[in-house]
Structure 1
Amino acid sequence: MNRGTERAIRAHAVRDYPRECCGLVIKVGRMTKYIPCTNIASNDADFRLAKEDYVAAADMGEILAVVHSHPDRPPLPSPADLDACEEGGVPWHIVHVSKDDAGLVAAGEIHTFAPSGYEAPLLGLPFVHGVHDCYALIRRWYKQERGIVLPDFERRDGWWDDGVQNLYLDNYAKAGFEVVPDGVADLQVGDVILMQIRSKHHPNHAGVYIDGGWQWMIHHEYGQLSCKVVYGGHWLQVTRAVLRYRSEKT
């Protein structure tokens, strides 16, 4: 990365502080260029690059790297950063930015990392919508335990309250699942349990049934760490459907 690109990245990080900035490094002909993008995340502590910005940058040239800032914390990748880097298949740059005692905002170290085969653990991950959420946990379980790569789906934070998008019911067939007619009476390891939690309209949460003996379910609830719980009680009450991957049907 040349000095001009580094200067542009640092300037963007300072400009967007205390919110995380995000952008893309592209190659146009023989030139490398930094393209500032819009962070559409719902809070200042995360970033989500607008799809339209990514498409526009890709139309301009070859995507070389993804960039974002870490305001007031070290520029080391979180598990969500590592996971998203693997998904994207290009290196990432994280720039540190902070405010000193005099109130001056400055950007410093840029940490670079690349896809390396990282796989996030199933349990103990902080919630990051769209990266480490309930559907992302289902995708990780199927990849790690069954070698099945499920499709990802664009989803905005709070989709379950708009009365329009119905992430799970609109897409489960596209992902290779079908409804289990007998529901919880016929649970098998790998079944996806759809639940409705604090949602007025649709099932908005899901977990994977992983053990028939103790009735374990893994799930990643909003704002919580991904975890394993006994499936029953409250979870049974909020269950709306059970889905099974077609190749797992017996």
Structure 2
Amino acid sequence: MLNQQIINHAKSCGNKESCGFVLKKNNNFEYFPCRNIALNPYDSFEISTEDWLRAEEIGEVVALVHSHPDDFPILSKTDQLIQQKTALDWWLVHSNSVYQFRLMLPLLGRDFKHGTTDCYTLFRDAYHLSGINLPDFYRKYNWWSEGKNYYLENMPENGFYKVSANEITEGDVIIICLGSSVPNHAAIYVGEQMILHHCPNRKSKRDIYNGFWLKYTHSIWRHKEWQSYGFMGISNNLAINLK
């Protein structure tokens, strides 16, 4: 019902971007449609202060909603920058579907904490931005030394298949043996011989994919539902510059 209300509002706006809020009221969720007051509502949206205050009077704002009638179902660079400022989940309407993008830390510059903000978290969050949702799970530190093989066990189960090194393309996942014979580190290939990853005791960053990282690569994987436009969701996040 909630999603259909959101979709119906987007349809009523035609080629203009719709916008609104998801509100929580008395343990129920409801949609609060807003008027798009942007100067160019066909390519952007803006919610008035009056609509925002009125929504907050009705219930707790838990998500901001807008549509991409003529664009891809991913958050733009501007969307992701403003999402950080609003500190809300953002929902996106596209082609009669609603895509939910949770609030997350920017992909670059994260502090490392195993099981919370580690290489799998970065991999999972990057894929979330591309429109593919992966499960989270508890992982004890040093699992690779205790008979576990999480990456090789979980990649096929979550829709990934192996590709050869000469097939690598933006968005592919590189599984690496980091100080272990068991593959225990994930990186995202971001093009131009660069990877995005998060090593212990370091901030998440881009690195050149050669030398050590290339030597200790175990395998390269691609998701069966991967779309080339999905990488735009990742690259848009890499481009945001938070002050």
Of 97, 101, 105, the residue aligned with 1:120 is 105
The corresponding residue for 1:187 is: 168
For normalisation by structure 1, the TM-score amounts to: 0.49
Query: How far is 1:249 from its partner?
Result: 7.8
Structure 1: unaligned runs, 5 residues or longer: 1-85, 88-115
Q: Distance in 1 between matches of 2:168 and 2:225?
A: 15
Question: Which secondary structure does the structure 2 equivalent of 1:247 belong to?
Answer: coil
Deviations along 1:180-221, whole A, 9 cap, x unmatched?
1x2x2110111000100111x41011100012xx21110001
Q: Distance in 2 between matches of 1:176 and 1:121?
A: 25
Residue pairs, 1:99-138, within 5 angstroms: 118-138=103-123
Structure 2: unaligned runs, 5 residues or longer: 1-87, 90-100, 229-243
Question: Which secondary structure does the structure 2 equivalent of 1:137 belong to?
Answer: helix
Query: What's the % identity of the aligned pairs?
Result: 38
Q: CA RMSD in A?
A: 2.4
Query: How far is 1:228 from its partner?
Result: 0.5
Q: Distance in 1 between matches of 2:203 and 2:184?
A: 17
Query: How far is 1:160 from its partner?
Result: 1.1
Equivalent residue letter for 2:112: F
Of 136, 140, 151, the residue aligned with 1:152 is 136
Matched, 1:208 2:208: no
Inter-CA distance 221–176: structure 2 relative to 1 (3 Å threshold) = same
Length, aligned pairs only: 131
Higher relative contact order (CA 8 A, sep 6+): 2
Q: Distance in 2 between matches of 1:249 and 1:237?
A: 28
| Moved segments of 4+, more than 4 Å | none
The corresponding residue for 1:143 is: 128
Residue pairs, 1:1-250, within 5 angstroms: 118-144=103-129, 146-162=130-146, 164-180=147-163, 182=164, 184-199=165-180, 201-211=181-191, 214-248=192-226
Q: Distance in 1 between matches of 2:167 and 2:157?
A: 22
Query: How far is 1:117 from its partner?
Result: 5.1
